[in-house]
A and B are shown apart, each in its own frame.
Chain A
Amino acid sequence: MPDSVDGNAPFAIRQYSADELKAALRKMYLIRKFEEGAEESYTRGLIHGTMHLSIGQEASAVGACMPLTDHDKITSTHRGHGHCVAKGADVEKMFAEFFGKETGYCRGRGGSMHIADVAKGNLGANGIVGGDIPIAVGSALAAKRLGSGAVTVCFFGDGANNEGAFHEALNMAAVWKLPVVFVCENNKYGMSTSTARSTAVKSIAERAASYSMPGLSVDGNDFSAVAEAVDTAVARARAGEGPSLVESVTYRWRGHSKSDRNRYRTKEEIAEWMDKDPIKRMAEMLLAHKILSADAVAELEAEADREIAAAIEAAKAGPDPEAGDLTRDVYTELAA
């Protein structure tokens, strides 16, 4: 913490340098613009299938990745574009994947729902709700056994907290004291079913008590609050003290997927959450603490716009996979 920083300032201001904070805001803009670019590309017919957009959840993805290095791992969900960007992915390779190109992260085999960037520690988005939770525990088991020091952050949504995999995996992580942080992005709805109608506990963080691990619920639209909670949990994991559960309460502005007609929530509710825009709040925090000027914030946004536009154009130019390679990577090709 620099001497000039107010001791009562938010965690993020106290914890991170101006450059780190600027980079974090830039990533949040990049996620927002990425999602908007993906949505537009979908409308223009460039994207096959469906997508799950994370607009409105940017503080959660970027805040949770703040304490991580490239050496640390994440596992992600069907709503995983933001996690992928937050962990440092190249947006051009992401768009190339969405466009089904050989130059995409998964060579056009995975698409939006399986986007991954293994070199940066993102083990992949997962199309099965809760499917990544035991895998994250396995990643943490490997880290502990191999002594790598890596921590795994496991992202999942509120819907996953009612899957058996969630309960089995949290229990094992606690019994074996593994270096994993469970980050539940509670955006209030599992597709159309609200947590009030699906989940017996009021706060998903309460589930932690069943597995004797710390559980904390934070405002998922507050970058600093997410970063602080996950930072504490990561420190605990690195110290060998085991897992934690962080509930990041947030909201997706868009529907569940492209087929969603928003019949289960009101326009007023959506508008109310749009007023709590996590990017606006982050920018205001940085302005208030004189980390960035208004011009600098506007420039960051414009930069993100340009980067996304360029990435889309470059990604479109990539080659399609060869039909003759259809069954490649079903199995590892063994040297004869």
Chain B
Amino acid sequence: MNMMAPTAEVEGELRELSYAEAIREALDIALGEDERVILMGEDIGVYGGAFQVTGDLVHKYGEERVIDTPISELGGAGVSVGAAMCGLKPIFEFQFSDFAALAMEQIVNQAAKVRFMLGGAVSVPLVMRFPAGSGTGAAAQHSQSLEAWLGHVPGLKVVQPSTPADAKGLLLAALDDPDPVMIFEHKLLYKMKGEVPAGRYTTPIGVAAVRREGTDLTIVATSIMVHKALAAAEELAKDGIDVEVVDLRTVRPMDRDTVLASVRKTGRLLCVYEGVKTLGVGAEVSAMVAESDAFDYLDAPIVRLGGAECPIPYNPELEKAAVPQVPDILRAARQLVKAEV
């Protein structure tokens, strides 16, 4: 069974699409079905987006709905928050996730809190998209993985699709959600192809996916690390190590049940994520296991592989060294299956 394929309940005809094409298809569906949907972002119109995700949508829906903003991340984000509070359903594209730092005020102090602060009198049906991650040679200010920043904020939901099918399904789920949903898309995945169902479907927020079943070790991975974990699992299978790979998919709210069930089964946990290791997503996954009954099932200490404790460097070899790679996963997994509590 191909566990990277969409779940069985999705009925649309399967086609091969890239991750970027799958997102564009979701945007097209969203714009086509609901006049309240608008896209906002820098160079998302005739330019088609820095990563060509919005493509030609401006020609189909016009500049009134596919809105090029000035280079004003704080203001642009705030306009999307106000528009969401007043009846529109904006989908806001950051050109790079790093630029979220310019807009944190509006994301964290406004979008995340306004419903709560007003006692439920308003909602903020806002979707924000963040092209994230390293591997493009763009160095320290265009390569970060900042999902843990936003995952720390009650009021936000944070997802990290790893496949084209989920990129489409999670975007449409985010659109249906009445609260702000932050989507971290890995830039190296934009060209990755995969089977994507036609038509409208949603991938539930807050539900992880078991991408490979196994009995010896659980790897909980996010985003592009899911693919590295799966590649490592194939290698490890040759050594008789049977790895289960859990694609977390949502950082907040985290799918506790799927992670704990897997750890109870395998008794070993390796977390693999691209964000900086300290205080990152894997720290939360580890704590979640350590605080639960699944802890009693552990046969070895939990291991985390995360981004190095430095900004992303420019030099290609250094850049690779700054985030977990397949050999790192292999090494950690082999040690882990030998280790005992």
Contact A141–B88 (Cβ < 8 Å): yes
- A329 CB–B CB distance under 8 Å: yes
Contact B74–A106 (Cβ < 8 Å): no
Q: Which among B105, B117, B123 has the greatest number of chain A C-beta atoms within 10 A?
A: B117
Docked CA distance A116–B120 (Å)? 11
Contact B88–A142 (Cβ < 8 Å): yes
Q: What chain B residues lie within 8 Å of A135 (beta carbons)? A: 78-79, 81-82, 85, 106, 110
Using CB atoms, name the residue of chain A closest to B253.
A331
CB-contact partner of A137 in B64, B78, B154, B179, under 8 A: B78
Contact A106–B86 (Cβ < 8 Å): no
- A164 CB–B CB distance under 8 Å: yes
CB-contact partner of A172 in B72, B86, B123, B154, under 8 A: B72
- Among residues 86 to 109 in chain B, which have CB atoms less than 8 Å away from a CB atom of chain A? 86-88, 90, 105-106, 109
Docked CA distance A148–B36 (Å)? 13
Using CB atoms, name the residue of chain B closest to A178.
B79
Q: Which among B70, B77, B109, B114 has the greatest number of chain A C-beta atoms within 10 A?
A: B114
Q: What chain A residues lie within 8 Å of B122 (beta carbons)? A: 116, 118, 123-124
Contact B110–A128 (Cβ < 8 Å): yes
CB-contact partner of B78 in A104, A138, A330, under 8 A: A138
Contact A128–B117 (Cβ < 8 Å): no
CB-contact partner of A329 in B75, B90, B110, B115, under 8 A: B115
Per-position 1/0 for A145-169, Cβ under 8 A of B: 1101000000000000000110111
Contact A114–B105 (Cβ < 8 Å): no
Q: What chain A residues lie within 8 Å of B85 (beta carbons)? A: 123, 135, 138-139, 142
Per-position 1/0 for A52-88, Cβ under 8 A of B: 0000000000000000000001010000000000000
Q: What chain A residues lie within 8 Å of B157 (beta carbons)? A: 331
Per-position 1/0 for A316-336, Cβ under 8 A of B: 000000000001111110100
Using CB atoms, name the residue of chain B closest to A130.
B105
CB-contact partner of A330 in B65, B84, B116, under 8 A: B116
Contact A131–B70 (Cβ < 8 Å): no
Known A137-B78, A142-B88: A106·B119 in contact at CB below 8 Å: yes
CB-contact partner of A134 in B74, B88, B115, B118, under 8 A: B74
A-B contact count (CB 8 A): 154
Docked CA distance A122–B233 (Å)? 56
Q: What chain B residues lie within 8 Å of A118 (beta carbons)? A: 118, 121-122
- A220 CB–B CB distance under 8 Å: no
- B134 CB–A CB distance under 8 Å: no
Known A128-B105, A138-B78: A145·B115 in contact at CB below 8 Å: no
Docked CA distance A133–B155 (Å)? 21
Docked CA distance A105–B85 (Å)? 17
- Please give the number of chain A residues whose Cβ is less than 8 angstroms from any Cβ of chain B in the complex: 47
Q: Which among A109, A128, A138, A145 has the greatest number of chain B C-beta atoms within 10 A?
A: A138
Docked CA distance A278–B36 (Å)? 43
Per-position 1/0 for B160-177, Cβ under 8 A of A: 000000000000000000
Using CB atoms, name the residue of chain B closest to A146.
B87
Contact B86–A142 (Cβ < 8 Å): yes
Using CB atoms, name the residue of chain B closest to A121.
B86
- A175 CB–B CB distance under 8 Å: yes
Contact A168–B74 (Cβ < 8 Å): yes
Contact B119–A145 (Cβ < 8 Å): no
Smallest CB separation, B258 vs chain A (Å): 20
Known A110-B117, A139-B83: A146·B88 in contact at CB below 8 Å: yes
Contact A106–B76 (Cβ < 8 Å): no
CB-contact partner of A332 in B38, B65, B90, B115, under 8 A: B115
- A311 CB–B CB distance under 8 Å: no
Residues of A with Cβ closer than 8 Å to B? 73, 75, 104-110, 114, 116, 118, 123-124, 126-128, 131, 133-143, 145-146, 148, 164-165, 167-169, 171-172, 175, 327-332, 334
Residues of B with Cβ closer than 8 Å to A? 36, 38, 64-65, 69-70, 72, 74-88, 90, 105-106, 109-110, 114-123, 154-155, 157, 178-179
A-B pairs with the 3 shortest C-beta distances? A138-B82, A134-B78, A168-B75
- What are 20 A-B contacts defined by CB distance under 8 Å? A105-B119, A106-B117, A109-B116, A116-B122, A118-B122, A123-B122, A124-B114, A124-B117, A126-B110, A128-B109, A135-B78, A137-B75, A145-B36, A146-B88, A164-B75, A169-B79, A172-B69, A172-B79, A330-B154, A331-B115
Given contacts A168-B76, A329-B119, 8 further A-B contacts (CB under 8 A): A110-B117, A118-B121, A133-B75, A140-B82, A142-B86, A165-B74, A332-B120, A334-B178
